[in-house]
Structure 1
């Protein structure tokens, strides 16, 4: 009897084309992602996972929240978001010192990370 490969292990590999690191390796999990005009106009051209991310990010959302909402490993979400940024489908607002005191953002990131567990 041969065992079938575990699809759940294969899926992340397929989603990222085997890449474990995003194009932008500095992309933080708390970075805020928002759909661009190009992304909103390109729904019909996007693969399923990319479409889900672009749709979710009509409202600003952190990379951690995206991972939690879509049930993706945080590394997979970082790779996909970085790809969408490079293609111009989403824009990212990077955390800075001014965000370090934004309690709402910190709480949303914590809730997103807790959901991943």
Structure 2
């Protein structure tokens, strides 16, 4: 009998459930290199949060990028962006945006990410 992690249907359904079916974050400009840090409200709310949201709050007690959050929790980068943006909208994390103006070719960035993911 295989474990839940071995079932491809469960693997595909899980990200959908984590984001309530959303594929775009509430803040569609959230960069993967943006730095995320747990706020005082987030630290105080930690026991009341569920699963990945609680994990993100724990991880971001030490500042890290959205991409690092995704990697550490083994989440797809899109899922991490949705969850981090939700937590930021609630005031549970603080986002520090990159100061330098970066190229905004999202299709190119997504191609790079897909290429990196295929290397696993």
TM-score, normalising length: structure 2 = 0.78
Quick check: 1:71 aligned with 2:87?
Answer: no
Q: Distance in 2 between matches of 1:12 and 1:5?
A: 12
State the SS of the aligned residue for 1:92: strand
The structure 2 residue matched to 1:46, chosen from 49, 61, 71, is 49
Aligned alpha-carbon RMSD (Å): 2.1
Correspondence for 1:92: 95
Displacement of 1:30 after TM fit? 0.1
Cα displacement (A) at 1:98: 8.6
TM-fit CA distance, 1:58: 0.2
Show the 5 A alignment for 1:1-117: 6-97=9-100, 117=120
- Number of aligned residues: 100
CA-CA distance at 1:96 after TM superposition: 1.3
Gaps (5+ residues) in structure 2? Answer: 1-6, 103-115
Tell me, in whole angstroms, the C-alpha distance in 2 between the residues paired with 1:98 and 1:16.
Answer: 29
Q: 1:9 to 1:85 in 2, by over 3 A?
A: same
TM-score by structure 1 length?
A: 0.80
Q: Secondary structure at the match of 2:36?
A: strand
Unaligned residue ranges in structure 1 (runs of 5+): 100-112
Equivalent-residue separation in structure 1 for 2:97 and 2:53 (angstroms):
20
* In 2: Cα distance, 1:39 partner to 1:91 partner: 9
